[in-house]
Structure 1
């Protein structure tokens, strides 16, 4: 299967993963418009990467900001699972002692789990 076919096959699940990450960002309580970017499946740059364990090709996508700095990644594994990370990099909107590094999502088509990666604010 070629890259374009992999992308098309994963588009629906990828859009659901992006929506779940966006929901998790919104759940944190940021003011409307204060988060500069949200993940969109079709805005990722994709490539095929060989799974060292299975030898199969995994679809990996990467998001970049306007300065071309990587701000997120999404990998669909050959076993049907996925893992994604997306940067938020902002102080937590309601918990002043915490900083939101990003959102992590993982699972499969049957179950998309996501949670915020929080770091304690420096004293």
Structure 2
């Protein structure tokens, strides 16, 4: 079983993902929940560095957070809700990245297929 990232960092990543959703005036409740993540290790095919990966699946949404050896993190979590200000678009997911205490992020918005 792989080690897990620091719980405080994991909770901060979850809060940052929810914060990106809230910036849009939307809510995904208390998702993602750090304690619900499953963990695995991934080897980068180029650098050969081993990263720790947290995955949320099995619920209404899917998400993944990668914790790199140098302290960086990249996380993405599904939202799948209509965009509140753009009727022809929906919020596919949100992403956050950076280091502990310095997480930035954005929403991934897509057009409805017609």
Q: TM-score normalised to the size of structure 2?
A: 0.84
Runs of 4+ in 1 over 4 A off after TM superposition: none
Gaps of 5+ in 2: none
Cα displacement (A) at 1:110: 4.2
2:91 to 92, 100, 108: 100
* Pair 1:56 & 2:49 matched: yes
Cα displacement (A) at 1:64: 0.8
Gaps of 5+ in 1: none
The SS at the match of 2:35 is helix
Given that 1:29 and 1:94 are in contact with CA atoms closer than 8 Å, whether structure 2 keeps it comes out as no
Aligned length: 114
Residue 33 of structure 2 is matched in structure 1 by 40
Please identify the structure whose Cα radius of gyration is greater. 1
Counting helix residues as a fraction of each chain, which structure ranks higher?
A: 1
Cα displacement (A) at 1:58: 0.7
Residue 68 of structure 2 is matched in structure 1 by 77
1:67-92 deviations in whole A, cap 9, x for unaligned? 7xx71100001122111110011111
The SS at the match of 2:11 is helix
Residue 20 of structure 2 is matched in structure 1 by 24
Cα displacement (A) at 1:38: 1.3
Distance 1:56 1:121 in 2: 38
